Every structure is written in C-alpha cells, then in structure tokens.
Structure 1
Amino acid sequence: MKAVLCVEHGPPEKLVVREIPTPEPGKGQVRVRVHAAGVNFPDTLIIQNLYQFKPALPFSPGGEAAGVVDAVGEGITDLAIGDRVVAMTGNGCYAEQVIANRAQIVAIPGDMPFDIASGFTMTYGTSHHALKQRARLQPGETLLVLGAAGGVGLTAVELGKLMGARVIAAASSDEKLALCREYGADETINYATENLKDRIKDLTGGKGVDVVYDPVGDRFAEPAFRGIAWNGRYLVVGFAGGAIPSLPLNLPLIKGASIVGVFWGSFTQHEPALHRENMAELLEWYNVGKLKPHVSKHFPLAEGAAAIRWVMDRKATGKVVLDV
C-alpha cells in the first residue's frame, strides 16, 4: 500500500511517499481502508518531533481517517468488513490502510461523506470537550474564540452558538471573519488591525468574556486573558501562533479566573465512556443538521506534504482533507 512517511524529523518537505507492506490487525484491532484523512495542526508538530506523542521513525502522520473496515482481528465482534467508520489513531492515517484499536473506532452514519467524516472527530471532539466539560459553558455567557476560522476554532464558534453563548470570533483577516459570521459569530475582532484587549472591552461593555478558547497562544494570550471576566475560564487548546506564552499569575488571582488545559487526545484515553457520549451527541447534532462541517481544501494522498504546509502557513479555514 502507499503511505506518506516521515523518515526523518523536519519540515513537511522531508516527507516521502512509499510503498509499504499492508498491515494486519492483531487482537482487538481492525484495519480500515482509508477513503479520506483529516489534516490537523498536530500533524505539523509530530513530523518535527515537537508533539507530546513521539512515534518511532519511520511513521506516517495523520491522526484521523474515514473509510471502511476491510479486516478484523481476534475478539472483534461488533464490527464487520464493510462498516463505515472513523479511526482516531494519533498517527498513521496518511496511508491507504491503517490499523486501529477498537476503542479508536467510531461508526459513522451511512450518508455522511467520507471527507466530512475524516475531519469531524478531532476538531469537533476537541471543541465540544473544551466547552462542555472543561469550561462548562452556560447559555447567555460570552465566548471569545481565537484563531476562529481554523480547524478547531470554527467548530468552537459553531458549538458555542449552539450551546447558547454569545460568540466573539477573533482572526487575522476580514475574509476569515466573514466565514466565522456564517457559522454563528455575533461579533468579530480582526487582531491583525485591531487592539484585541481594547476590542474585548468595547464589545463587552467593560465586563470581559466568560470563556476564552485559545488554540493560538503566542502574543495573543495575555491580551485575551486581560479581557476575561470575573470567574472566567481560559481554555489552553494549543499554540498555533508558534510561541508558548507565559502569563503573569497575578492576572488569574485578581480576576478569580481559571486557566484550564484541554488535551482531547488524552481525554479520550482517560475517559473513554464520556468520550463516546460526546461523539454520540455530536453525530446526532450532525444528523439533524445542527452542525455543518466546513472542508475548505482537498489534496491527493501523494501531496500530503503540501497539505501539511498549507496548514502550517495558516492558509486553511475549517478543515483540510487528503483524498485517499
């Protein structure tokens, strides 16, 4: 089978496409014939050896893929060849076939397109867990989303609105902010041209925002935190801006605010039952038309490196997908 491989750590241009042996599922595993693979920001880190999980070289990047089961291992009784599924494996999905443990598999509706499914679990799963379990977002509260047009950011805008919040979307261009408005943002901030802290103050009448969803970090973290309300919750989702920021700890003290980590991958392992409940709720919302995933660009498998570069260069809005 063909696979995009990381044979040495570095930028995406070092990735190669090679024929490798087709893997066989072991006990408690299934093999999925991949139709589409989601491209996510962690993919940009894992190939540079900068991510929390560090698979041994060589490996294929790609943490999620949608396709059909084409082989089952010993002990698998509730899945059969031909079942339509999403696999959430952490890596290995930039390939024609991928092995997944049973706990990493979620069945998908029969009418859900594979490209939509391949970009659904990580982004919606992260934002849903962040807003529901970590922030405990309540109807009527104000949510600020940084990087709001990106993969996780746009889902946070959409889910925040669905959960009854007033949503302020912050992004780096008017084009990106227009997309955020399509997905429910009530107000927008262009932090390339506007002062983030001042605009938060203006839009909230000086009160501040109840929840900050931050997948960007870098220079936007401190002004966003300074715009948080009393009892606010600051969600640390990622660092797409590059630098991991440092915050003066007197800020959460004087605002009675919380800094809350969001690590969806670990959550799925530590609390699998709750993760399954979350995914069931998200798929139900999708089935009834409450969620409309946005796939902005497709790449063929052979151009996996270009897809990662597209995400690294912050050209992506919504999801980027590899067609396998």
Structure 2
Amino acid sequence: MQAWRVHENGEPHEVMRLEETEPPVPGEGQVLLRVRAADVNFPDALLCRGQYQVRPPLPFTPGVEICGETEDGRRVLATPALPYGGFAQYAVAEAAALLPAPEALDDAEAAALHIGYQTGWFGLHRRARLEAGETLLVQAAAGGVGSAAVQLGKAAGATVIGVVGGPGKARVARELGCDVVIDRHGQDVVAAVKEATGGRGADVVYDPVGGAAYTQSAKTVAFEGRIVVVGFASGTIPSPALNHALVKNYSILGLHWGLYTTKDPELVLRCHEQLTELAARGAIKPLVSERVPLSEAAAAVQRVADGVTTGRVAVLPTARHGATA
C-alpha cells in the first residue's frame, strides 16, 4: 500500500515521504480500516514537528481523523492508532472506539465531524454550558475547529461573533452563519466586540489559537463569562493573569477532548449521537474546503500548518491526481 511516513521531525512538506509499505497488522482489540477520507488537523503538523503531546516512534504515518471502511463493509469514523495514521490507504484503530459514519454526510464531511465537532460539543456544552440567547465569540472562526464551533453555537441558539484573519476568511465566516464577523487584520478586535455587545462582552469565548488571541479573549469576555481553551495554533501558550480572572469574575476552562475517550467513553458516544442528529436535519454540515488525492497530503498538511486554509482539507486515498471535489 501507499503511505506517507515521517522518518525525522520537521516541517511537514520536508519530512513526509510517500512510500510503498506493507499494510499495518492490527493488534489486540484493533481493526484494519480502508481509508475512505482522512481530514487534515493541526495536530498532524505538530506530530511531524515532534511537538504534539503524543510522540509516536519513528517512522510513523500522521493522520489523526478518518472515515474508514471495515472488512465487513461498515463505514465508520476513527482516530487511527499511531504509528499507523490516516494518510495511507489502510490504517488501524481501536475497535471499541469506532463510531458509525452519519448517512447524511459524505466521507470527507463525516471524517470532519469527529475531532473538531466533538471538541466543539464538549467545549461549548459540557465545559462552558452555553445557553440559548448567550453570545459566543469564536477565535479563528473560519478554520477547521472554529467553523465547527460556529455551527454548533448557532444550532444552540447563541449569537455568534467570529474573529478571522483576512477578507477571504471573513467571507467564509459569514457563510458559516456568524452574526458578526471581525477581521483582526483591519479591525480592533476588543473595540469591535464591545460595540457588538453593547459593552458587555461575550458570555463564552472559544479559543483554539492562544497567544495574542487569548489576550483578546480575556479583554472581551463578559462578567461571569467562560473562556474555553482548546489549543494553541498560534504556537504561543499564554500565561493567564489570574488576578484578572478574579477581578472580572470569569472562568478559564481547559478542554482536552481525548481524555473523554478513556475517562467517559459513553459520553463520547452520546455526543456523536447528537451530532449525527444535527447533521441529519441540516443544522450542521462540516466545511470541507479542499479535497486532494493521497499524493498531495504533505502539501495539504503544510498549508494547514501555515494557517492559510479554511474549514477542513480532506485527503482521499482513492481520488485521481488533481481531484478537487
């Protein structure tokens, strides 16, 4: 089979190599999956760089989110068991963690429903307890993680403010349903949020960016608001001023979605059922901005790492070279 493998850490386009290799052999409790679609996530870039919290042995195949097919023909969602990730024709995954792919979504969309939307659901509903009528601020609203939070926020009845970087991403955020879109390249984010909320600020801030974005989050969160820390795509991990949280009475909530797969797997299943229902009635639909063949996976991971993409980029191992849809 063909698989992208990383033999040394570095930038994705430099260290990912497309190779011919034997299909992986599942271990105890694992299953072999034919990869139908593998969506690119920022952690794939971190894995290549050796900066992710999980460091698989070299060489490994990145690709943490797939829609695959079991040997008996079931279409499923999975997070592959590294070092046999999803940027390959076959991957392995834990049998107990497989989720049925929603019929309402195609392979690329279904794969995107997994990590990003599960993270959004847990962040907004389990951690922040978002309520209808509240204001939700989403950093990087046009990205893979942010776009999921925008749709879930709208489905929950919230007013959604999206912060993006550039006019192209602003257009995408509006199409996703943001009630207010703020372009951080040309606008003062703090002033724009205060204007949009009558000076009150956002009840919930969803922040997968960190760095300067977190500073904005702390300045724009409302009294008794909640900041959900999802990740640090900026590359900078902020050091919150806890006296500021005390003065404004807001909460800082961490979210590591992967912990729920071991600490409370039943809740993960319940979340998937709700996401499947939302997808079936059209309340959410993952934004897949690009669909590329397996031969272009390294370039796709690099684009995500560089922050120039919107929504999700899907790698389709069976697509012809140059496929875009």
When normalised by structure 2's length, the TM-score is: 0.93
2:291 counterpart of 1:298: yes
The one of 246, 256, 263 equivalent to 1:263 is 256
* TM-superposition CA deviations, 1:69-97 (whole Å, max 9, x none): 02xxxxxxxxxx11111111264111111
Instruction: Give the SS at the match of 2:32.
Output: strand
Following superposition, the deviation at residue 255 of structure 1 comes to: 1.1
In structure 2, the CA distance between the partners of 1:234 and 1:90, relative to structure 1 (3 Å rule), is farther
| 1:1-324 equivalent positions in 2, closer than 5 A | 1-12=1-12, 13-70=14-71, 81-89=72-80, 91=82, 92-110=85-103, 112-324=105-317
Structure 1 position 28, deviation (Å): 2.1
Secondary structure, counterpart of 2:70 in structure 1: strand
State the SS of the aligned residue for 2:137: strand
* TM-score of the superposed pair, with normalisation by structure 1: 0.94
What secondary structure, in the 3-state scheme, does the structure 1 residue paired with 2:68 have? strand
CA contact (8 A) 2:161 2:182 kept: yes
Deviation at 1:111, TM superposition (A): 5.3
Aligned Cα RMSD in Å?
1.3
Deviation at 1:170, TM superposition (A): 0.5
Give yes or no for contact 2:104–2:279 (8 Å, CA) kept in 1. Answer: no
> What secondary structure, in the 3-state scheme, does the structure 2 residue paired with 1:47 have?
helix
- Between the two proteins, the alignment pairs up a number of residues equal to 314
Match of 2:320 in 1: none
- Counting aligned pairs with the same residue, the percent is 42
Aligned to 1:77: none
Distance 2:104 2:283 in 1: 16
**Distance in 2 of aligned mates of 1:297 and 1:112:** 16
Q: Counterparts of 1:223 and 1:296 in 2: how far apart (Å)?
A: 27
Structure 2 residues without counterparts, runs of 5 or longer = 318-325
* In structure 1, C-alpha distance between the alignment counterparts of 2:275 and 2:27, rounded to whole Å: 30
Match of 2:28, SS state, is coil
What is the CA deviation profile of residues 113-146 of structure 1, one whole-angstrom value per residue up to 9, with x for unaligned ones? 1111122201111111110101100111110000
In structure 2, C-alpha distance between the alignment counterparts of 1:228 and 1:106, rounded to whole Å? 35
Structure 1: stretches of 5+ with no match in the other structure? 71-80
Displacement after TM superposition at 1:40 (Å): 0.3
Take 2:188 and 2:247, find their aligned partners in 1: how far apart are those partners? 22
Q: CA–CA distance in 1 between the matches of 2:81 and 2:147?
A: 21
Superposition misfits of 4+ residues, deviation over 4 angstroms: none
